[in-house]
Amino acid sequence: MGQSNRRQHSDETYRVVQWAAGRMGKKAIRDVVEHPRLELVGLYVYSDGKVGQDAGVLAGIDPVGVLATQDIDEIVALQPDCVLYMREGFDLDDLTRLLSSGINVITTRSEFFYASTMDPTIRARVEEACRQGGTSIHATGSSPGYSTTTMPLTLLYPMRRLDELTIDEYADIPASVGPDMIRLMGFGTSVVTTEVPAERMGTAFVGYQQSLAALADAIGLPLDGFEVRAEVARATEPHTLSDGYVIEKGTMAAQRVTVAGMRDGRPFMTFRAHWFCTQHLDQGWNMGGEGWLFTTRGDAPMRVRVTYGTTGEGYSEQLAGYTATPAVNTIPYIVDAEPGIRTIFDLPPVVPVLGAE
């Protein structure tokens, strides 16, 4: 049995700091507190109003005796095994400080999925920090993450020949993100053409490129490069969101972005995001249901649809778990991993511990 598996099933407790207490961070706090092998020892926040508050109270549970701070020196002094880094954007100085101080990092940021496709400057600084601290950093989440590595790998298990992999993601944006993000993504704005220059999408799809490249390399079929294209659809009638924001007729109401990993001059691994605010669209796109549709072509072709069920918690909080919980479940494995930028393919199978042993 590998070292990570031995420790995962030992009595050892891992000391964890949560970095940021937004929607994802609050879910991670609850997961860590409930986990039989994890101990929450610190919380870093960005809002002045959260400083000094109990992490449990911020996460909507009973107090846990951990108070939020904005002082990174306090976090480093705690000497945690791992930091769950879940802020909007990232601060490279903070990340390298943590790693060089001997603190492992698991992040839901998409810029750190795969070393060979990272920005070279960022990669060099992160790898040097990992070398100094003897630490590792791992990026994960639902999408990219589960949708682009874990689930596809499961579908490839019975195959000896893969001709093409296509991942279609469907997301009801108002149910998934807050009003500010909806506006930031441009929903409800006027559009002249349905074709959108890929550069306008910023770095949002870097994680899809990195994780697909990692999957392709892991199975021995590396990609030659990527083609990215973006399209939008307009509302055919006004649609009012829960906060009163109106997606007017003729304004952007859906986005479809395609990240195609190319091999031998054709798409080989493709991720398509179908993000919508209403079903009433001028493009005739089929936006039925949320979740993913996985399609493989090869010697054991499959077509698998994964949809969300419902729990007793609010839907937005439930969706946060699909991103936050994989990070929590991976903590014991990253603590034991070799130093560096680690993908899921560098680790033994991640087996969640769901109850006390």
| Per-residue pLDDT reduced to its tens digit, 125-174 | 999 999 999 999 999 999 999 999 999 999 999 999 999 999 999 998 88
Q: How confident is the model at residue 192 (pLDDT cuts 50, 70, 90)?
A: confident
If one counts the domains in the chain, the total is: 2
Are 44 and 66 a contacting pair, CB within 8 Å? Answer: no
Residue-level pLDDT at 287: 78
- The percent of residues in the chain predicted with pLDDT above 90, rounded, is 77
Q: How confident is the model at residue 185 (pLDDT cuts 50, 70, 90)?
A: confident
Residue-level pLDDT at 76: 98
In angstroms, the CA 251 to CA 187 distance is 7
Same domain for 160 and 256?
yes
Is residue 353 domain-resident?
Answer: no
- The single residue listed with the structure tokens 């003729």 is 250
Average pLDDT over residues 212-219: 98
User: pLDDT tens-digit profile of 257-312?
Assistant: 999 999 999 999 999 999 999 989 998 887 767 899 999 999 999 999 999 888 87
Same domain for 108 and 159?
no
User: pLDDT tens-digit profile of 51-84?
Assistant: 999 999 999 999 999 999 999 999 999 999 999 9
Are 216 and 263 a contacting pair, CB within 8 Å? Answer: yes
Same domain for 184 and 235?
yes
Same domain for 134 and 161?
no
Are 111 and 140 a contacting pair, CB within 8 Å? Answer: no
Is residue 202 domain-resident?
Answer: yes
pTM of the complete model beyond 0.75: yes
Task: Specify the CATH number for the domain of residue 120.
Answer: 3.40.50.720
**Which range among 84-98, 101-115, 285-299, 323-337 shows the weakest confidence by mean pLDDT?**
285-299
Identify any residues that bridge with 227 across adjacent strands, giving them in sequence order.
260
DSSP-based three-state secondary structure for 281: strand
Task: Describe the strand order of the beta sheet including 136-139 as a list of residue ranges.
Answer: 68-69, 38-44, 14-19, 82-85, 104-107, 136-139, 340-342
Of 101, 73, 99, the closest CA to residue 85 belongs to: 99
DSSP-based three-state secondary structure for 40: strand
Is residue 322 domain-resident?
Answer: no
Residue-level pLDDT at 243: 82
Average pLDDT over residues 7-17: 77
Residue-level pLDDT at 153: 96
Residue-level pLDDT at 1: 33
Q: What is the mean pLDDT of the chain?
A: 92
Same domain for 156 and 301?
yes
Residue-level pLDDT at 25: 96
Alpha carbon 239 to its chain centroid, in Å, reads 29
- The single residue listed with the structure tokens 């839901």 is 108
Q: How confident is the model at residue 199 (pLDDT cuts 50, 70, 90)?
A: low
- The single residue listed with the structure tokens 């490249």 is 213
Average pLDDT over residues 102-125: 96
Angle value at C-alpha 205, between 91 and 23, nearest 5 degrees: 55
Q: How confident is the model at residue 204 (pLDDT cuts 50, 70, 90)?
A: low
How is residue 170 written in tokens?
Answer: 């469907």
Are 56 and 124 a contacting pair, CB within 8 Å? Answer: no
Is residue 307 domain-resident?
Answer: yes
Same domain for 260 and 206?
yes
pLDDT at 27 > cutoff 80: yes
Q: How confident is the model at residue 3 (pLDDT cuts 50, 70, 90)?
A: very low
Is residue 226 domain-resident?
Answer: yes
Residue-level pLDDT at 357: 57
Residue-level pLDDT at 273: 92
Same domain for 18 and 35?
yes
Of the two residues 138 and 203, the one the predictor is more confident about is: 138
Same domain for 236 and 102?
no
Residue-level pLDDT at 4: 43
Is residue 300 domain-resident?
Answer: yes
Same domain for 173 and 287?
yes
Is residue 354 domain-resident?
Answer: no
Same domain for 202 and 68?
no
Residue-level pLDDT at 211: 97
* 13 CB neighbour count, 10 Å cutoff: 12
How is residue 280 written in tokens?
Answer: 């009433």
Of the two residues 320 and 342, the one the predictor is more confident about is: 342
Of 356, 346, 353, the closest CA to residue 140 belongs to: 346
Q: Which stretches does DSSP call E strand in the chain? A: 14-19, 38-44, 68-69, 82-85, 104-107, 136-139, 162-172, 195-196, 225-234, 239-240, 246-247, 252-263, 266-276, 291-298, 302-306, 340-342
Are 274 and 149 a contacting pair, CB within 8 Å? Answer: no
Same domain for 253 and 339?
no
Q: How confident is the model at residue 36 (pLDDT cuts 50, 70, 90)?
A: very high
Residue-level pLDDT at 231: 92
pLDDT at 331 > cutoff 50: yes
Same domain for 112 and 251?
no
Amino acid identity of 206?
V
- The percent of residues in the chain predicted with pLDDT above 70, rounded, is 94
Is residue 223 domain-resident?
Answer: yes
In angstroms, the CA 9 to CA 54 distance is 30
Q: Which residues contact 184 (CB under 8 A, 6 or more apart)?
A: none
**The domain containing residue 234 runs over which residues?**
146-312
